[in-house]
């Protein structure tokens, strides 16, 4: 719904709507009139001023039957500083001729457009502008404005003086006359005209009406709407203007306009707009919901819609408060979860600085720092995963995977931790079709999380069991059921109600050192449902827990064994990294593992280092993506485009903190062979380099 109040629009428009000849901001400057001008002002009596009636809030007929709006405020101020006296006469809707103005004995016309056509017109003299705003094109929402196109433009009868200007700027436009601005808007809304061009203040007033909801306003760059006064001058016997009295009047007006400050004009604009806001009527309401009115009847609609709107507003208020509370709790918890390990890292760094000579203490501090940093990285990854899942931004891979190998890998990862804690870890795996189509990494993520939770919450001497079975469905899909059970602490009935809530952790388990992000299970639940399955559990305090992870996947044939390539000498590595610290760390890590490596500090240096080296010098390029001069995508594509044999064969690996699917796809499109995310897992890096 377009807002009915124009006050906000005024704040944006006031800066442009200032008198072109106004004095500096501040008070009002006194007039300095010549003796001739003073005599004219004292003797001219009441001057009749004609005005256009339908330009709210610029000029229109007010409640008292006289001129109202911004123009009236300006004229009242001019009268106060100059001593002139005005009487206001509405002009007819049809085009106003010079003969009509003379016949009606009108000395002035207000809201005249300040342009070359009016400056050169016979029979009138124009003042300096007292108000300036933009011209605005109003068109239907589906129209793409092009000044060179052949559009049918609606022009109100009170805006005829701009016809010459529009013809010069838009030679292909067909200008069609309408009686009023409202008729112009109706013509555009109904499709009779393609557009209309009007003053910005006027457009804001008219577009508050629901009947024009489908219209759009397009500001016209380079075409301002400057309004001035014009003095009607009698023609002399030779057919030319006789400017004697008219020029004196214009001179007085120019001085009076210059004496009105910008602050005063801004105040007049705000006052006029606020006093003349369009009032949203019952008719507007019925128009906006006209199709429902036809279906249900006028009397029933008013009662039902008003009741529904009130109920909806109350429901939204309750939901908004609940959402705000949930968001506040989430941010508070996340802040606590992030600050806690950061506080640990800062403290450990301080302690290391105090005990540089105690190697045993330093080793322990480094071990604790590494564990804390890994926890912090896990927290960030979990938060990003949760955000992507809630926004439906995670797309599962659909590739052949060996489920037996996935489970074996997970068991290998957790087995040492189970043994160190003194737990009995057993597996009961019966897979009828180990090879399925699915996302290997996400299946491994869920099972690993369930097993790690079982390890953390089962005391020494306890048992953890992994079971896996499969069942073929009539649809041809394979339904896999993976169960992780333990005889650990279990969960209280109260905590079981919120176990899948973000950051939910049972206070007792946290106090006993089982630190976690509280996001693992919510993420696992999202992933399970994304795979066409579910995650459920049963638990009893001090007895144990049993989690069941199910997912659906299409079976596939076992792929043929591929011959592994023979091991080769370790390649020389080119590291493209703009962060000095990260670059130094990477060179030292690679050096410790027996690799020779060189550093380039941006994409352009990396391209130069590769192209200037002998063919075959580098076997791998570790490429950061966001770098100055030339980013990693551009550098990779430029290396691939080089006319040398190793440009096509060198392995280019993205090494970046940007881990989105879009970044991965763009990296592959630019010619990269792999993708490693920061912070770098050293084991993963060595596996890629091998």
In a domain, 60, yes or no: yes
Query: Which of the residue ranges 210-224, 398-412, 598-612 would you say has the lowest mean pLDDT?
Result: 210-224
> Could you tell me the two tokens for 446?
């869920």
Q: Are 209 and 284 in contact (CB under 8 A)?
A: yes
- Range list of β-strands (E), 91-240: 108-113, 124-126, 131-140, 152-156, 174-178, 195-199, 215-232
Of the candidate ranges 31-45, 89-103, 363-377, 651-665, the one whose mean pLDDT is the lowest = 363-377
> How many structural domains does the chain have?
5
Distance CA 158, CA 55 (A): 9
CATH number reported for the structural domain that contains residue 519 in this entry: 3.30.565.10
Percent of the chain with pLDDT over 90: 26
What per-residue confidence (pLDDT) applies to 485? 95
Answer yes or no: are the C-beta atoms of 538 and 484 closer than 8 Å. no
Task: State the average pLDDT over residues 315-322.
Answer: 59
Q: Which of 301-310, 344-353, 521-530, 546-555 has the highest mean pLDDT?
A: 546-555
pLDDT in tens, 629-638: 899 999 999 9
Euclidean distance between CA atoms 325 and 323, whole angstroms: 5
> Is residue 7 pLDDT above 80, yes or no?
no
Alpha carbon distance, N-terminus to C-terminus of the chain:
61
CA 366 to chain centre: 42
375 and 426 housed in the same domain: no
**Both structure tokens of 38:** 């003073």
pTM of the model: 0.41
* Domain CATH code at residue 193: 3.40.190.10
Q: Evaluate whether residue 560 is within a structural domain.
A: no
CA distance 311 to 608: 67
Residues 615 and 512 in one domain: no
**What is the rounded distance in angstroms from the CA atom of residue 484 to the CA atom of residue 528?**
15
In this structure, are residues 629 and 606 in contact, taking their beta carbons and an 8 Å threshold? no
Does residue 298 register a pLDDT over 60? no
* pLDDT reported for residue 547: 95
- Verify cis geometry, omega within 30 degrees of 0, for the bond prior to 619: no
Residue in 631, 679, 624 with CA at minimum distance from that of residue 654: 624
In angstroms, the CA 642 to CA 34 distance is 81
Is the domain of 299 the same as that of 390? yes
Of 394, 409, 431, the residue at which a domain comes to its end is: 394
CATH code: domain of residue 343: 1.10.287.130
- 547 in helix, strand or coil? strand
Instruction: Answer with the residue of higher pLDDT: 51 or 16.
Output: 51
- What pLDDT is recorded for position 235? 66
Same domain for 460 and 353: no
More confident residue, 194 or 359: 194
Query: Do residues 646 and 574 lie in contact, with contact meaning Cβ atoms separated by under 8 Å?
Result: no
**What is the band of 99 on the pLDDT scale with cuts at 50, 70, 90?**
confident
DSSP state of 398: -
**Residues 399 and 438 sit within 8 Å (Cβ to Cβ):** yes
**What is the C-alpha separation between 581 and 586, in angstroms, rounded?**
9
Which of 394, 410, 440 is the endpoint of a domain? 394
Distance CA 468, CA 444 (A): 13
Q: Is the pLDDT of residue 410 over 60?
A: yes
368 has pLDDT over 60: yes
The region of weakest confidence among 1-15, 231-245, 662-676 is 1-15
| Residues in CB range of 536: below 8 A, 6 or more apart | 547, 548
Contact 145, 137 (CB under 8 A): yes
Half-sphere exposure of 125 (CA within 13 A, CB side): 21
Q: Has residue 156 got a pLDDT over 50?
A: yes
Is residue 433 domain-resident?
A: yes
Pick the range with the lowest mean pLDDT from 379-383, 556-560, 582-586: 379-383
pLDDT value of position 573: 93
Task: Supply the pLDDT for residue 304.
Answer: 60
- The band of 306, judged by pLDDT with boundaries at 50, 70 and 90, is low
CA distance 686 to 690: 6
| Residue 598 and residue 625 in contact, taking contact as beta carbons nearer than 8 Å | no
Contacts of 419 (CB under 8 A, 6+ apart): 425
Domain check: are 384 and 373 in the same one? yes
**Together in a domain, 302 and 379:** yes
List the CATH number of the domain containing 584: 3.40.50.2300
| 424, 524: one domain | yes
What phi and psi values does residue 85 have, to the nearest 5 degrees? Answer: -125, 135
325/340 same-domain check: yes
What percentage of residues in the chain have a pLDDT greater than 70?
A: 75
How many CB atoms lie under 10 A from the CB of residue 551?
A: 26
Look at residue 436 and tell me if it is in a domain. yes
CB 505 within 8 A of CB 518: yes
Q: How far is CA 210 from CA 47, 188, 202, in A?
A: 40, 14, 16
138 near 207, Cβ under 8 Å? yes
407 is a domain residue: yes
Give residue 501's pLDDT band: very low, low, confident or very high (50, 70, 90). Answer: confident
Residue 424 — very low, low, confident or very high, per pLDDT cuts 50/70/90?
Answer: very high
Least confident of 186-195, 352-361, 537-546: 352-361
Distant-in-sequence, close-in-space partners of 412: CB < 8 Å, separation ≥ 6: none
pLDDT of 549 above 90: yes
pLDDT of 329 over the 60 cut: no
Q: Which domain holds residue 156?
A: 133-223
Q: Does residue 13 surpass a pLDDT of 50? A: no
Q: Residue 478's pLDDT band (boundaries 50, 70, 90)?
A: very high
Q: Which of 193, 199, 155, 150 is nearest to 177 (CA)?
A: 155
Is residue 378 scored above 70 in pLDDT? Answer: no
Whether the CB-CB separation of 189 and 211 falls below 8 Å is answered with: yes
Whether the predicted pLDDT of 603 surpasses 60: yes
Does 642 lie in the same domain as 624? yes
Query: How much is the mean pLDDT over the chain?
Result: 80
Band of the pLDDT at 85, cuts 50, 70, 90?
very high
Helix axes 520-530, 440-456, angle to 10 degrees: 150
Residue that wins the pLDDT comparison between 642 and 245: 642
Cα–Cα distance between 21 and 258 in angstroms, integer? 5
Tokens 């189509």: give the residue: 437
Distant-in-sequence, close-in-space partners of 660: CB < 8 Å, separation ≥ 6: none
The mean pLDDT of 345-355, rounded to a whole number, is 74
Query: Is the confidence at residue 341, as pLDDT, over 90?
Result: no
CA distance 618 to 178: 75
Q: Does one domain contain both 654 and 638?
A: yes
In-domain check, residue 281: no
Site of tokens 């890096």: 685
pLDDT value at residue 92: 83
Q: Is the pLDDT of residue 469 over 90?
A: yes
Confidence of residue 269 (pLDDT cuts 50, 70, 90): confident
The least confident of 417-421, 423-427, 683-687 is 683-687
| Range from 86-95, 337-346, 419-428, 667-676 carrying the lowest mean pLDDT | 337-346
Average pLDDT of the residues in 174-180:
87
CA distances from 571 to 169, 596, 636, 651 (A): 66, 8, 18, 10
State residue 292's pLDDT score. 55
Residues 181 and 264 in one domain: no
Res. 240: pLDDT tops 60: no
Query: How far, in Å, CA of 260 to CA of 279, rounded?
Result: 31
CA–CA gap between residue 518 and residue 500 (Å, rounded): 9
CA–CA dist 653, 637 (Å, integer): 12
Does residue 444 sit within a domain? yes
Give the closest residue to 33 by CA, choosing from 257, 258, 259, 251.
Answer: 251
∠ CA 386-389-395, nearest 5°, is: 135
Of the pLDDT bands very low, low, confident and very high (cuts 50, 70, 90), residue 5 is: very low
Q: Is residue 563 a part of any domain in this protein?
A: no
CB-CB contact of 175 with 153 (8 Å): yes
Q: Which residues pair with 429 in a beta bridge?
A: 468
For residues 196 and 163, the model is more confident at 196
CA distance 387 to 393: 8
User: Taking 90 as the threshold, does the pLDDT of residue 463 lie above it?
Assistant: yes
Q: Is the pLDDT of residue 674 over 50?
A: yes
Residue 377 CB partners (closer than 8 Å, separation 6+): 679
Average pLDDT over residues 105-115: 87
| Closest of 643, 648, 653 to residue 690, by C-alpha | 653
240 lies in the same domain as 165: no
CB neighbours of 577 closer than 8 A, spacing ≥ 6? 583, 586, 599, 600, 601, 622, 624, 627, 655
For residue 32, how many C-alpha atoms fall within 13 Å in the half-sphere facing its CB? 1
Question: How far is 204 from 8, CA to CA, in rounded Å?
Answer: 11
More confident residue, 409 or 60: 60
CA–CA separation, 687 vs 91, rounded Å? Answer: 86
CA pair distance 606, 622, nearest whole angstrom: 10
Residue 667, φ and ψ in degrees, nearest 5: -65, -45
């Amino acid at each position: 719904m377009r807002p009915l109040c124009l006050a906000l629009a005024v704040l944006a428009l006031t800066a442009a709507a200032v008198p072109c000849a106004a004095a500096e901001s501040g008070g009002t400057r006194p007039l300095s009139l010549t003796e001739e001008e003073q005599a004219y002002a004292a003797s001219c009596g009441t001057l009749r001023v004609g005005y256009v009636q339908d330009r709210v809030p610029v000029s229109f007929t007010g409640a008292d039957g006289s001129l109202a709006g911004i123009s009236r405020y300006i004229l009242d101020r001019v009268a106060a500083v100059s001593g002139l006296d005005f009487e206001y006469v509405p002009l007819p809707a049809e085009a106003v001729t010079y003969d009509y103005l003379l016949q009606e004995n009108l000395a002035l016309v207000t809201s005249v457009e300040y342009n070359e056509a009016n400056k050169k017109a016979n029979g009138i003299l124009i003042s300096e502008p007292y108000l300036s705003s933009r011209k605005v094109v109003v068109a239907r929402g589906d129209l793409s404005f092009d000044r060179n196109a052949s559009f049918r433009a609606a022009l109100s009868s009170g805006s005829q003086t701009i016809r010459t200007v529009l013809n010069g700027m838009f030679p292909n436009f067909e200008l069609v006359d309408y009686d009023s601005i409202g008729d112009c808007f109706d013509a555009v809304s109904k499709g009779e005209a393609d557009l209309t061009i009007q003053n910005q203040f006027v457009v804001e007033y008219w577009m508050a009406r629901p009947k024009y909801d489908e219209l759009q306003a397009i500001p016209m760059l380079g075409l301002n709407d400057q309004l001035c006064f014009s003095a009607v001058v009698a023609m002399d016997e030779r057919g030319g203007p006789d400017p004697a009295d008219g020029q004196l009047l214009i001179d007085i007006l120019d001085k009076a306009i210059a004496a009105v400050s910008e602050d005063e004009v801004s105040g007049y604009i705000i006052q006029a707009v606020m006093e003349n806001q369009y009032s949203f009527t019952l008719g507007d309401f019925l128009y906006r919901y006209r199709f429902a009115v036809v279906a249900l009847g006028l009397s029933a609609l008013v009662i039902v819609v008003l009741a529904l709107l009130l109920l909806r507003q109350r429901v939204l208020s309750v939901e908004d408060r609940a959402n705000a509370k949930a968001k506040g709790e989430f941010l508070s918890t996340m802040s606590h979860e992030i600050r806690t390990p950061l506080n640990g890292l800062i403290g450990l760094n301080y302690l290391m600085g105090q005990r540089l000579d105690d190697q045993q203490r330093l080793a322990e501090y480094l071990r604790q720092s590494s564990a804390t940093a890994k926890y912090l990285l896990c927290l960030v990854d979990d938060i990003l995963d949760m955000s992507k899942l809630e926004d439906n931004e995670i797309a599962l891979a659909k590739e052949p995977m060996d489920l037996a190998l996935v489970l074996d890998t997970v068991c290998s990862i957790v087995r040492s931790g189970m043994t160190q804690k003194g737990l009995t870890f057993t597996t009961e795996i019966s897979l009828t079709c180990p090879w399925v189509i699915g996302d290997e990494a996400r299946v491994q993520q869920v099972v690993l999380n369930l097993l790690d939770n079982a390890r953390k919450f089962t005391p020494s001497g306890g048992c953890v069991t992994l079971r896996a079975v499969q069942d073929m469905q009539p649809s041809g899909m394979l339904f896999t059921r993976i169960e992780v059970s333990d005889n650990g602490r279990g969960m209280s009935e109260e905590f079981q109600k919120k176990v899948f809530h973000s950051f939910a952790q049972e206070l007792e388990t946290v106090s006993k050192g089982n630190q976690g992000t509280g996001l693992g299970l919510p993420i696992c639940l999202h992933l399970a449902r994304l795979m066409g399955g579910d995650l459920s559990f049963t638990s009893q305090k001090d007895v144990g827990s049993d989690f069941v992870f199910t997912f659906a996947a299409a079976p596939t044939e076992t792929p043929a064994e591929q011959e592994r390539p023979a091991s080769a000498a370790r390649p020389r590595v080119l590291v493209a990294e703009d962060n000095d610290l990260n670059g130094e760390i990477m060179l030292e890590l690679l050096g410790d593992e027996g690799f020779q490596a060189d550093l380039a500090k941006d994409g352009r240096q990396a391209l130069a280092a590769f192209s200037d080296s002998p063919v075959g010098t580098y076997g791998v390029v570790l490429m950061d993506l966001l770098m100055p001069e030339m980013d990693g995508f551009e550098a990779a594509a430029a290396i691939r485009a080089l006319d040398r044999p190793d440009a096509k064969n060198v392995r280019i690996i993205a090494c970046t903190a940007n881990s989105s699917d879009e970044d991965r796809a763009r990296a592959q499109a630019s010619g990269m062979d792999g993708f490693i995310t920061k912070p770098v897992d050293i084991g993963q890096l060595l596996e890629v380099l091998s």
